[in-house]
Chains A and B, each alone.
Chain A
Amino acid sequence: MRNVGAATEFDVVVIGGGVNGLVCAALLAQAKRRVVVVEAMGRTGGACQTNDVVAGHRVSTFAHLIGPLDAQVVKALKLARHGLNFTAKQISTVALSPEGRHIVLDGDLRHTTQSLSAHSQNDAKAWAPFDTRMAKIAGQLQRWVQTPPGGAFEQATRGGSLFATRPTARAGAALDAEFGALLDGSIGELLDAEFETPLLKGAIAFDGIVGSAVSPRTQGTAFVAALRAALEAEAPDGIVHPQGGAGAFASALQKAAEAAGVSIRLNARVTNLLFENGRTTGVALAGGQAIYAPIVVSSMNAKATLIGLGAERYLPLGLKRRLSGFRAEGCVAKVNLALASLPSFKGLDKRHLKERLLICPSIDHLDRAFAAYEQGTFSPDPALEITIPSTHDASLATPGQHVLSAHVLYVPKTPAAGAWTDATKKDLIAAVGSTLRQYSPDLPELILGADLYTPADVESMGGTPGGHWHGGDLTLDQLGPLRPMAGMSRYGTPIAGLFLCGAGTHPCGGVTGINGRIAAEAVLAGAPVTA
């Protein structure tokens, strides 16, 4: 038995070597804390990994687009020095049309208006005012996504700020009443009021639901779309692709963390937290070893951390129940394809192949896919978010050959008919193949190999608990001061010394590093235990 307050080897244990864990660890180490990261898998990166589909074809295993990265994180970690090199920046979205009348959403008013006018003159005219309004909303949300929810930013950083300068807050703290009322509704409702082109509405609706188990007709999805716009507004490079895929991004983060003095232990699964006198004193690893430190920061979601790691008995019943209501079951699968040559999409300019290609022809299409998900299965015609990173990153495939990566919506973690089998996985790959065929008839013939990761696979392979993109659904009841729950939104927990830094904290998931950065600030500030 150790004495509380006795010297320990480390000041902080960070559970999980995913993006936010590494960011948090590196920033704490830069602030002269002795930090160790314990990672259950044999490599860091969490949802950011690169692997082989077939020999000679490498692709980002899970997350395939990086960003919008937090500008402060990029600056503080000097990732370029640690080998990070982007082969594409400012990746924009192209909404694919089966007839080849694609819509380009690249932030350039002219491009979008032009591609829209092939569908509807009304929509081409309505685009600019809509874009302006969304930018205004994003502006109002910008400060909010960069800072801890509720309360003033200074409160979290008081007593030892990481950064001398305050975040670049431009707009007010809260949404004004008019926008608030608009964003309470569904993204479907908002878009139906503005536009008539189903393809345009489908593509934008996709951003209101990505990763969460909700339909585009669910209340609050408009808010999530705005939140994403706010995140993107501040990132200088926008959405990026690192040379070598998401795994290369994770290696750069790991190198930056190690350069700052962080120790990293791989294959170290935490079985439970250690407690003394009601506060945490470290973690116990599978195999019996313990690592002691006065502060533990977990990049798993609150439920997986507090209930999964044995803190349950220190929590009051009401709080335990509130935590168990947190929804974090993934509903997105990933399909990676090795291709013999570059596929062609009807009517799509080759330069657009490096963009984020969406197959989501309408709101109803997405809604139907969600209806299938609600019934415990997947739609034969799923919605896809596609990247073909080998078009700009030659390191991923032998010359002339390519890799394609697709997120698939919606896919249950556990189908109603029972756990995933080889046969049901084959069905899903076939559904993705036949969907792709409608847009690129030659594509299915080019497939040399295919990998599928269901949400269950993402979880078991160390992606995230629940296999959820965002560490928990992005819904009105799990955002801001309610993420992960009221009273625990400022990165502290009711257990003294225990903090959260993962995607399941404010503002949301995605590869941004914001959560890890604000969590580090909260730790340094000795943030109040509960808000």
Chain B
Amino acid sequence: MALDRLDAVVIGAGVEGLVAAAALAKQGRAVTVVEREGEAAPMGEGADAVISVAVARALDLGGQGLRFAAAPAVVGIAGERALILWPDRRAAEAAIATIAPRDAEALAAFHARIIRAAQAPAGEQAVSTWLTAASTADAPPSDHMFFRATSLARLLDEAFDNDLLKGIFAQGAIMGTGASPLAPASGALLTRQSLLAAVAPDAGHRYVAGGKAELRRALLALLKFYNNADVRFSSNVKQLAAERDAVQAVILDDGTTLRAPLVISTLPHDRHRDLLTGLRRPPPRDLVTGAPVEPAHVKLTIGALPKLPGVDAATLASGAIVRLDPSISRLSRAHGAFRARTLAETPCLELRFATRTTADGKQRWDAHVTMPYVPVTTTEGPWTGARRDGLRALCVRTIDTVAAGFGASIEEAEIRHPKESETVMDPKGAAALTAKAALDLTGVPEPRAASVTTLVKGLTVLEPSLYAGVGDAGLLAAGNGTKPRAKVGADA
């Protein structure tokens, strides 16, 4: 394929980038994906993917062997007791009934309430305007406005009595954000597609069997199938070259120049200011937004599944998500530690187990440990060796309190995030954060659909939304890549 005849360059071989590239390739356009990392999946394994059914159909991912799956079971462990929320509602109700009969009866109504709130027309009215409108009290209650005004804790308190059940929901909703479950407006987090797909699989988004790793495999396979598409791994972008106020080419570290009339980027917004050259003025600051608050991710390899109270091995082996002592008050304390740029003494961990066979033919289990509320930089500085070891030790200690002897059985440990080589944000960077980004890091992300922005002519930046499904932004960028500020409903 001739490099000078590209129609589009996609920066980043994450799922959104691959979806964008696949959609363009399907339209017959010559497209190249450039990715800084190597071909081995970076963080994919162990992570769920909730994909819009529309994306899966548009790209015929089924043809690449991709299958929808039921949502994983979610387990909460408190003391000697476990509560398992099976994806099947009746089974979940039966489990809840053993510890809180009244809550079992409330589950269906709670699900229905979330679905209604999520599917309410995404009006542009501000909560403040709604609160002060003369007719508000006389109009039928606008529950979706209440979701945008209130906290997760309050919505859960209204629905249930049982603290373990409330904690399971709260921890799922805050994951990937810097929001406290007690913060006003955090109620909207319940309308995330990742949560909705679990309670309403026919509402347009589905879990993918095998998660992000499998989705990535299917997308890469699809791109290989198109001879007008190419993926270049280990290729770092050095420059986005603009001429006459339009981006014309992507220049890589090795000097390769990829000329294309359209560049679709999945990099964080602020990175583009450093990469763009040849512009008379840089893109406006107000487009700079913060990154999502990535939870810490530690992989611990063990020989056999640990014994956890109330959960059998088959459930763990099925990929169930296990939350250790989830509770709103513990989450709130951990959030306080996060704001103080430290780690909570008793973090709120999430565990998942996956099996694999090693090169020497032995079966091994990987425990994927996820810890929310990890500050981008600690009070003592960025995440370097000793601090990362401390984080891993904290995870192990916490698991040991539920599964005695777990720590002693660990054969290998790997901290995947926070990364040492690539400081997510150094202290200088944190100080330079714009107000918007500071809010993104500590507040509730605005409930909105995935969107794409034309930052500079010829450069489209994907803005995946926490509330949308995987692939929504990618498909949108490929479809409307040249149209500025196009948006699509999260439930499209």
A-side interface residues toward B, CB under 8 Å? 140-141, 144, 149-152, 173-177, 179-181, 183-186, 188-189, 192-193, 213-215, 217-220, 223, 317-318, 321-322, 324-325, 327, 367-368, 370-376, 416, 475-477, 479-482, 486-487, 489-490, 531
Q: A152-B134, A219-B185 are in contact. Are A370 and B339 (CB under 8 A)?
A: yes
Residues A173 and B134 in contact, CB atoms below 8 Å apart: yes
Shortest beta-carbon distance, A145 to chain B, in Å? 9
Q: Which residues of B contact A219 (CB under 8 A)?
A: 183-185, 443-444
Per the bound structure, the CA–CA distance linking A475 and B151 in Å amounts to 10
Q: Which residues of A contact B126 (CB under 8 A)?
A: 175, 177, 180-181, 183-184
Identify the closest chain B residue to A490 (Cβ). B137
Residues B157 and A480 in contact, CB atoms below 8 Å apart: no
Q: Which of B291-299, B393-401, B434-442, B472-480 is found at the contact surface with chain A? A: B434-442
Identify the closest chain A residue to B183 (Cβ). A218
Per the bound structure, the CA–CA distance linking A223 and B129 in Å amounts to 10
Shortest beta-carbon distance, A61 to chain B, in Å? 29
Interface hits, B424-476 → A, CB 8 Å = 434-436, 438-439, 442-444
Residues B184 and A476 in contact, CB atoms below 8 Å apart: yes
Interface size bracket, B side: 35 or more
Per the bound structure, the CA–CA distance linking A173 and B136 in Å amounts to 11
5 A-B pairs (CB sep. < 8 Å): A140-B132, A181-B129, A321-B157, A373-B336, A475-B150
Residue B314 lies at the interface, judged by CB distance under 8 Å to chain A: no
Per the bound structure, the CA–CA distance linking A183 and B124 in Å amounts to 14
Residue B317 lies at the interface, judged by CB distance under 8 Å to chain A: no
Per the bound structure, the CA–CA distance linking A189 and B437 in Å amounts to 9
Interface hits, B171-221 → A, CB 8 Å = 180, 182-185, 187
Contact of B333 among A179, A214, A215, A375 (CB under 8 A): A375
Identify the closest chain A residue to B339 (Cβ). A371
Per the bound structure, the CA–CA distance linking A132 and B268 in Å amounts to 36
Interface hits, B289-346 → A, CB 8 Å = 332-333, 335-340, 344
Instruction: Provide the main secondary structure of the chain B interface.
Output: helix
Known: A150-B135, A150-B136, A490-B137. 7 other contacts (CB 8 A): A174-B132, A374-B180, A374-B339, A375-B336, A476-B149, A476-B185, A481-B131
Contact of A151 among B125, B137, B442 (CB under 8 A): B137
Q: Which residue, B153, B184, B344, has most C-beta atoms of chain A within 10 A?
A: B184
Residue B141 lies at the interface, judged by CB distance under 8 Å to chain A: yes
Per the bound structure, the CA–CA distance linking A464 and B436 in Å amounts to 37
Residues A189 and B340 in contact, CB atoms below 8 Å apart: no
Q: A173-B134, A481-B137 are in contact. Are A188 and B438 (CB under 8 A)?
A: yes
Identify the closest chain A residue to B180 (Cβ). A374
Identify the closest chain A residue to B130 (Cβ). A180
Q: Which residues of B contact A374 (CB under 8 A)?
A: 180, 332-333, 335-336, 339
Q: A150-B134, A219-B184 are in contact. Are A486 and B141 (CB under 8 A)?
A: yes
Identify the closest chain A residue to B105 (Cβ). A317
Per the bound structure, the CA–CA distance linking A218 and B175 in Å amounts to 18
Q: Which residues of A contact B359 (CB under 8 A)?
A: none
Q: Which residues of A contact B125 (CB under 8 A)?
A: 177, 180
Interface hits, B130-169 → A, CB 8 Å = 130-138, 141, 146, 149-151, 153-154, 157-159
Identify the closest chain B residue to A324 (Cβ). B157
Residues B184 and A220 in contact, CB atoms below 8 Å apart: yes
Identify the closest chain A residue to B188 (Cβ). A219
Residue B128 lies at the interface, judged by CB distance under 8 Å to chain A: yes
Q: A175-B128, A325-B158 are in contact. Are A215 and B185 (CB under 8 A)?
A: no
Q: Which residues of B contact A176 (CB under 8 A)?
A: 129
Q: A181-B126, A374-B335, A375-B340 are in contact. Are A220 and B136 (CB under 8 A)?
A: no
Residues A214 and B183 in contact, CB atoms below 8 Å apart: yes
Residue B127 lies at the interface, judged by CB distance under 8 Å to chain A: yes
Identify the closest chain B residue to A185 (Cβ). B439
Q: Which residues of B contact A317 (CB under 8 A)?
A: 102
